[in-house]
Structure 1
Amino acid sequence: MSTENALLTILVDRIKSDTLVLPTLPEVALKVRSCADDPDITLHTMAEVIATDPALAARMIKVANSALLSRSVKVTTVNQAVTRIGLRQIKNIATAMAMEQLFVSQNDVIKGYMDKAWQKTINVACHAMVLVQQFREQQRHDTINTETITLAALTYNIGILPILTEAEKHPEVFANPSFLAHAIQKLAGRIGAAILTAWDFSEEFVQVAKSWSDPSYRPEDIEFVDFIRMGAILEGILQVSDKAAALQVYVDKGIIPALALFAEDDYQNLVKDTHGVFS
């Protein structure tokens, strides 16, 4: 059996036996989620929790000042940021911003793969976030919201982490990038769903991770997976034979007005501005 097939067998066996080592949420994300679930939490206390992580605090201020919230007056403190964003949104956005801490490795080769994976994830997330914002402006859709798509878009491909971690024990497989791509395509959805289930995320997040790359999953209703798929198609992460035809599905579904949207300066500028939140 080749090394590649052996690794694939190991991963499948560990998924089936529930022995695959799954990543854990960063500590600050756990604290924020716990506090957000406390009915007695105050904005000031939440700001204090976020302020314990300087990187997260800076990101939250960027979110509060971003085009996504469409405010002209800039905030400069975590307290102001938390007040503007609101407790309802803080839980998902703070968790999303902590995701980057998982894409790290002491191995230079693995680090390269993880850095690339995180950048691709951000690119997809930026498209998805802007598309949701524009959709909400047009449709006033209450169940599709920006704070949820932010977290869904930054966790949709979380299943690649255990694959790369396991592959680190077999460095020779990295000489064959096509194998890694095959392993990720075959298993990342199942693993990602397992991770988000272990993290006690709701079914809507689990469903996104499980089905975003599955062509047989074609929901009739508008779901978060639609926006992530559009981002993945635009970024070339979701491979399709005809990009225009694949995106036309979302015009026909009433999510976007026309394919010309993606070439508009306003759209491109919004995506660029959103990307700045993650830098």
Structure 2
Amino acid sequence: MQTGFGIYAKIAHDIIAGKASLPNLPDAALRIRRAMQDPDCDLARIESIIKTDAGLSGYLIQMANSPMYRGWLATKDLKRALSLFGMEMTRNLCLGYSLRAMFRARDPQLKALLTDHWKRSAHRAAFCAVLAGQVRRISPDRALLAGLLQQIGMPLLYVRLENYPEALSNPEILQDLEETFCATISLTLLDSWGLDAELQEVARSRHVWSREHRGRADLADVVMLVNLHELRLENDPARYLPEMRSLPAYEKVDPGPVSERGTLVVLDESVDIAAIEATMTG
């Protein structure tokens, strides 16, 4: 009979093997995706869908006025915000917002864990959006979404562990589960949602420091640098971390100076991160 970590690992393996049901895309994101699959879809139709969700409408207006889009004229009008975003950006932002639905629970212990995970994801995503501003051809909204999705498998695993409070209350067990299963569960979920290969690569390689590829910097490069930056900030002496400048991703992104503690100065000195993060967590 399995006990302890073996039980938790089996739950993770069942998700990966398709033996457990996977959550659908949150409703708003699903409706918008279906609408955009229609070649005749326009922003007026998307606006009519978004208006059915007051929270989403408010979020998009806040984003239009956030530091991510500095230089735009301030607006309190949803239609104006959508016209500024365009279809692709609107889709990315709506999906990012709708992910919050996966971080809700009634059980106090699980709720606290999911809330903490969402806040950390939002903080990381804000870093990604700011760093993407240094990279041509990578939009901040796309980087924001990648930052939110890179560990999307963990909330699903937490929910499946609801009946095992001893696991949810043990940081070491959760860390072991994350290191062992997070990437694969995240890929399973992203694939089931039909999300593209570039977003899946972010989840697959988020800590693969030696990752190399041809061509220009991509989303995975941006997210990887943010992850190393955050780990450097944590300054865990028990964890080996490579030097920031040694990463192929650093050379691709070319984000500028590295601080004495090994973090990216552009992120250390950014005044925009807190405002972007607050838009997602407020």
Q: TM-score, normalised by structure 2?
A: 0.87
Q: 1:106-255 counterparts in 2 under 5 A?
A: 106-136=106-136, 142=137, 144-215=138-209, 217-221=211-215, 222-236=217-231, 241-242=240-241, 245-246=243-244, 249=247, 250-255=249-254
- Any conservation in 2 of the 1:193–1:209 contact (CA below 8 Å)? yes
Q: 5+ residue gaps in structure 2?
A: none
Task: Report 1:48-127 matches (<5 A).
Answer: 48-127=48-127
CA separation of 1:108 and 1:225: change in aligned 2, threshold 3 A: same
Task: Tell me: CA distance 1:214–1:43, structure 2 relative to 1, closer, same or farther (3 Å).
Answer: same
Deviation beyond 6 Å, 4+ runs, structure 1? none
| C-alpha separation in 1, matches of 2:257 and 2:219 | 19
Deviation readout 1:25-70 (Å, 9 max, x if unpaired): 1111111112223221222221121111111111100111122222
2:273 aligns with: 271
Question: Following TM superposition, by how much is the alpha carbon of 1:272 offset from its aligned partner in structure 2, in angstroms?
Answer: 2.2
Q: Which amino acid aligns with 2:142?
A: T
Judged with a 3 Å threshold, the aligned counterparts in structure 2 of structure 1 residues 266 and 19 are, in CA distance, closer, same or farther, namely closer
What is the letter of the counterpart of residue 7 of structure 2?
A: A
Is this contact kept in 2: 1:128–1:228, CA < 8 A?
A: yes
Task: Please give the per-residue CA displacement for 1:182-208, whole angstroms capped at 9, x wherever unaligned.
Answer: 011110110110101110111111121
Matched residue count: 271
| Change beyond 3 A, Cα 1:70–1:272 | same
Q: 1:254 to 1:29 in 2, by over 3 A?
A: closer
Identity of aligned residues (%): 21
1:205-232 per-residue CA deviation (whole Å, 9 max, x = no partner) reads 1121122134464445422112112222
Contact 2:131-2:266 within 8 A present in 1 as well: no
SS in 2 for 1:39: coil
Structure 2: distance between partners of 1:254 and 1:227: 7
Q: TM-score scaled by structure 1?
A: 0.88
**Pair 247,54 (structure 1): closer, same or farther in 2 beyond 3 Å:** farther
Structure 1 match to 2:13: 12
Secondary structure of the 1:236 match is: helix
Letter in 2 for 1:229: M
Residue in 2 aligned with 1:139? none
Closer/same/farther in 2, CA of residues 254 and 45 from structure 1, 3 Å limit: closer
CA distance in 1: counterparts of 2:46 and 2:65, whole angstroms: 18
- Amino acid in the other structure paired with 2:4: T
Higher mean alpha-carbon deviation, 104-113 vs 42-51, is at: 42-51
Shift in Å, 1:255? 2.6
State the Cα RMSD in Å: 2.4
Partner-residue secondary structure (3-state), 2:207: coil
